[in-house]
């Protein structure tokens, strides 16, 4: 997860990999792989178990 702000503008980015212990799953195998979600007029970034 990366968030930057410059000149009044913000950018947010996230990878789409899900990891459980030593297992890794790429976005093509996860139905809901989006870690950045829109809630109303706000964007939220999910990390950890909440993002799975």
Q: Is residue 7 part of a domain?
A: yes
pTM above 0.75, yes or no: no
Looking at residue 7, what is its pLDDT?
97
Looking at residue 40, what is its pLDDT?
94
Residues 1-52 have pLDDT tens digits of 788 999 999 888 877 676 667 777 666 665 666 677 889 998 887 776 655 5
Q: Is residue 40 part of a domain?
A: yes
Domain of 43? 2-13+27-51
Number of domains composing the chain: 1
DSSP 14-39: ----EEETTEEE-GGG-SS--SEEEE
Evaluate whether 16 touches 27 at the Cβ level (below 8 Å).
Answer: yes
Residue indicated by tokens 């212990």 = 21
Distance spanning both ends of the chain, measured CA to CA: 14
Looking at residue 44, what is its pLDDT?
81
Separation CA 12–CA 17 (nearest Å): 16
């Amino acid at each position: 997860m990366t968030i930057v702000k410059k000149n009044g503008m913000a950018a947010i980015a996230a990878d789409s990999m899900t990891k459980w212990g030593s297992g890794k799953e790429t976005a093509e195998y996860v139905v809901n792989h989006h870690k950045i979600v829109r809630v109303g007029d706000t964007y939220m970034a999910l990390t950890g178990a909440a993002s799975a």
